[in-house]
């Protein structure tokens, strides 16, 4: 056999099959899983932030809706709602008088807002709604309490 006959017997060059897109390389898997975890974490943190600030918006809205009549009672009720939400302790609703004043002193005097409320305001909140005189429900006292509570809510 001649070399030309041998070359004619050879088949043409066969190229290997094209490399497919599936399955992706391990690096792509790591990138996809990392991206999904990052997106899930961002959504979780965003929702947590929204839930943590929602009570502030509702509390300030309620505080702005307080009228001059029965304002001390409304402010006390709002503070109790906030305390129950933040501390998850429903027994706070039964506090009144001296225990309520002591609770207010510890709850509202935080490291962020140490001197926002005066001692007289705590006494007014604890005892004022039970007094019949007009001094307890005066617009000056109510305005000062509302302003201090708004500042406390923003800082909390």
Kindly report, residue by residue over 74-84, the tens digit of the pLDDT. 999 999 999 99
Q: What is the pLDDT of residues 90-117, one digit of tens each?
A: 999 999 889 999 999 999 988 888 888 8
Radius of gyration of the chain (CA): 35
Say yes or no to pLDDT of 33 above 90: yes
Q: 15-28: b or e for each residue (b if 16 or more CB lie within 10 Å)?
A: eeeeeeeeeeeeee
Residue 145 and residue 125 in contact, taking contact as beta carbons nearer than 8 Å: yes
Q: pLDDT class for 134, splitting at 50, 70, 90?
A: low
Angle formed by the axes of helices 119-127 and 139-155, nearest 10°: 110
Residue 104 and residue 126 in contact, taking contact as beta carbons nearer than 8 Å: yes
Say yes or no to pLDDT of 68 above 70: no
User: Residue 25, by phi and psi: left (phi above 0), alpha (psi -120 to 50) or beta?
Assistant: beta
Q: pLDDT class for 20, splitting at 50, 70, 90?
A: confident
Instruction: Tell me the C-alpha distance between 40 and 36, whole Å.
Output: 6
Q: pLDDT class for 149, splitting at 50, 70, 90?
A: very high
Give Cβ neighbours of residue 152 (< 8 Å, ≥ 6 apart).
108, 110, 113, 116, 117
Average pLDDT of every residue of the chain: 88
């Amino acid at each position: 056999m001649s070399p030309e006959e041998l070359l004619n017997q050879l088949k043409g060059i066969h190229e290997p099959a094209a490399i497919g897109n599936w399955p992706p390389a391990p690096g792509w898997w790591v990138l996809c899983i990392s991206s999904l975890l990052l997106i899930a974490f961002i959504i979780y943190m965003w929702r947590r932030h929204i839930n943590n600030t929602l009570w502030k918006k509702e509390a300030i809205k309620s505080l702005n809706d307080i009228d001059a009549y029965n304002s001390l009672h409304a402010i006390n009720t709002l503070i109790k709602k906030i305390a129950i939400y933040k501390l998850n302790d429903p027994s706070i609703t039964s506090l009144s008088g001296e225990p309520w004043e002591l609770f207010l002193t510890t709850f509202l005097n935080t490291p962020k807002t140490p001197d926002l409320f005066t001692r007289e305001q705590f006494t007014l909140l604890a005892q004022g709604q039970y007094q019949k005189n007009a001094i307890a429900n005066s617009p000056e006292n109510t305005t000062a309490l509302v302003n201090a509570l708004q500042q406390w809510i923003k800082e909390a």
